[in-house]
Amino acid sequence: MTSHNPILPFKDKNILICIGGGIAAYKVCEVISQLFQEGANIEVILTESAQKFITPLTLSTLARKPAHTDQNFWQPIHSRPLHITLGEWADIMVIAPLTANTLGKLVHGLADNLLTNTVLASTCPIIVAPAMNTEMWLQKSVQDNWQKLSQDSRYHLLHTNTGLLACDRIGKGRMAEGKEILTAIESIINTEGKRDLIGKKVLISGGNTREYLDPVRFIGNPATGKMGIALANACYYRGATVTLVAGNINPEWLNLLPPIQIITVTTAQEMESAMRSNFPLADIIFMAAAVADVKPRQYSSTKLSKQSLPSMLELEPVNDIVAKLGEIKQPSQKIIGFAAQTGDIITPAKEKLIRKKLDAIVANPIDKDNAGFASDTNEAIVITAKGKEIAIQPCTKLTLAHHIIFHSYSHFE
């Protein structure tokens, strides 16, 4: 596999950003800036009320082209109607912030401004990120509309976060952060809006395990959990019910995940217990965590002084979680393992695939630039039990996760 610059997921994609009236509109600036930097083609629509919070000039500067307003919509200055042109042009639409007013219009197919007319004139997937006061968000009429919108497969709903609102109240209603919106956009680009894992329960291990010698010293590894988080996001946006067993993953990263079940663990024994507990109901299992192979034979409940540290550390093996699960796997279950390697990545991965009774294994190098532990990008070779070998070129870990799902499960199911 030849390493080169990672593929940018947004490059040359036509992304239409639609901004509603709310203070959360400022968060969209980060999204537009990042999309432009990564080569996306961007068009922006502002509602009349959105312009009270953020100016067309700001957004035009970030997108490098004029932002569209209702003033443009009502004036016949284009050779074709503006809403038709934009609707046909877009690969994906993002409505953020989504107000209660626009939500109601979307549900009932109403169109009285540029944004809502463009929605009706388009067929692409639409990501919606609501933002409003807690009492507004929890109103029965708003929640009813939200549920109705969720039943339309064209819409991909970002749930509101809990935190300090503009009204100084702490509660639900905060709009998703810029990183969450970008994750949703990248996922929908990869899936083209399809949800091929609806009805599936997915169990993922991610991060690392720590095997302690005393309360402050441990045997560990540099795995950060970025691959596990990417898989969790990818599976969620493909429609699965997701459980992530997170080994020592940054809590701030976990807070940016969509609504999935998260079980935090520290040691290999804790990870094994969590995986075994959730394994029977899982349809697909991704074993992306870097689990310790050994642990200190003796543990001290108090910190050892430097002088009392053993000159030779006695070790004992840790259970091989993947192999244990492979032994009890049912025919309907699929287990995909990971092999982080240096040098020849294929030979040891094939050996693990057979020995651990896996359905597929993802071999990835840890001795290349922009790959391996802690990197935001990676490359891999997916090897299936049926003998298929699929090389995945350098890309973001989220895009890699989508490729892994497609080649190790969806494509061969």
How far is 128 from 159, CA to CA, in rounded Å? 9
Q: Is 167 a catalytic residue?
A: yes
How far does Cα 263 stand from its chain's mean position?
A: 17
- The tally of CA atoms less than 13 A away on the side-chain side of residue 393 is 7
Q: What is the DSSP string of 70-101?
A: HHHHHS--SSS-HHHHHHHH-SEEEEEEEPHH
Residue tagged 């459980």 (tokens): 243
Cis omega before residue 97 (within 30°)? yes
How far is 168 from 194, CA to CA, in rounded Å? 38
- The tally of CA atoms less than 13 A away on the side-chain side of residue 31 is 32
Which of 215, 211, 232, 156 has the alpha carbon at shortest distance from 189?
156
Which of 280, 251, 277 has the alpha carbon at shortest distance from 264?
251
How far is 102 from 95, CA to CA, in rounded Å? 9
Cβ–Cβ under 8 Å, residues 349 and 389: no
Q: Which helix (H) or strand (E) is 104 found in, with range?
A: helix 100-108
Q: What is the DSSP string of 137-191?
A: HH-HHHHHHHHHHHTSTTEEEPPPEEEE-TTS-EEEEEPPPHHHHHHHHHHHHHH
How far is 227 from 362, CA to CA, in rounded Å? 11
Taking each helix axis as running N to C, give the angle between helix 226-237 and helix 178-191, from 0 to 180 degrees, rounded to the nearest 10. 60
- List 18, 29, 167, 395, catalytic entry: 167
List residues with catalytic annotation. 167
